[in-house]
């Protein structure tokens, strides 16, 4: 018998990535979060990857430890057709989950922390323009 690797549910992956994002933003290690929840850091890793589903009471505990409302973990969650109304001509644009994935990475957290410490709005705008130029994209017309 061949073992089939189960793909994590997109909602579980999203919730886990939001746990990771918040944990990293406040500078907490997986081990420290695990200790606060009486879990191993390996279990925290599984939650963050979406490999293990986080139950409602556990999610409430995590929210308390990380200092956010439970709703935080569902912000920007991918739509699931079975839970939402049928798509129409006015359906939402495709998910921007890649943004959440980047912000949850160590580079994203470091960049975000440094960027928000820049007080001068003009300097921040110039940095965005520079990054867009390096990436080969047009400047954002909304700013």
Whole-prediction pTM? 0.65
3-state SS, residue 29? coil
Burial (0-12, 13-18, 19+ Cβ within 10 Å), 114: exposed
**Structural domain span for residue 48:** 7-77
pLDDT of res. 140:
56
Residue 14 and residue 73 in one domain: yes
Please tell me whether residues 71 and 11 are part of one structural domain.
yes
Number of domains, the chain: 2
Instruction: Provide the pLDDT for residue 143.
Output: 47
Residue % of the chain over a pLDDT of 90: 44
| Overall size of the chain counted in residues | 143
Mean per-residue pLDDT of the chain:
83
| Sequence-ordered list of residues with C-beta below 8 angstroms from that of 141, at least 6 positions apart, any chain | none
The yes-or-no verdict on residue 48 having pLDDT over 80 is: yes
User: Between residues 76 and 45, which one has the greater pLDDT?
Assistant: 45
């Amino acid at each position: 018998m061949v073992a089939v690797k189960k793909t994590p549910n997109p909602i579980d992956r999203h919730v886990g990535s939001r746990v990771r994002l918040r944990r990293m933003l406040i500078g907490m290690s997986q081990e420290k979060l695990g200790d606060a929840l009486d879990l191993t850091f390996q279990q925290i890793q599984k939650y963050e990857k979406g490999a293990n589903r986080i139950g409602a009471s556990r999610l409430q505990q995590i929210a308390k430890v990380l200092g956010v409302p439970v709703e935080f973990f569902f912000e920007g969650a991918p739509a699931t057709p079975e839970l939402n109304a049928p798509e129409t001509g006015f359906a939402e644009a495709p998910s921007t989950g890649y943004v959440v994935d980047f912000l949850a990475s160590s580079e994203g957290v470091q960049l975000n922390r440094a960027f928000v410490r820049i007080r001068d709005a003009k300097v921040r705008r110039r940095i965005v323009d520079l990054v867009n130029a390096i990436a080969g994209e047009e400047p954002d017309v909304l700013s």
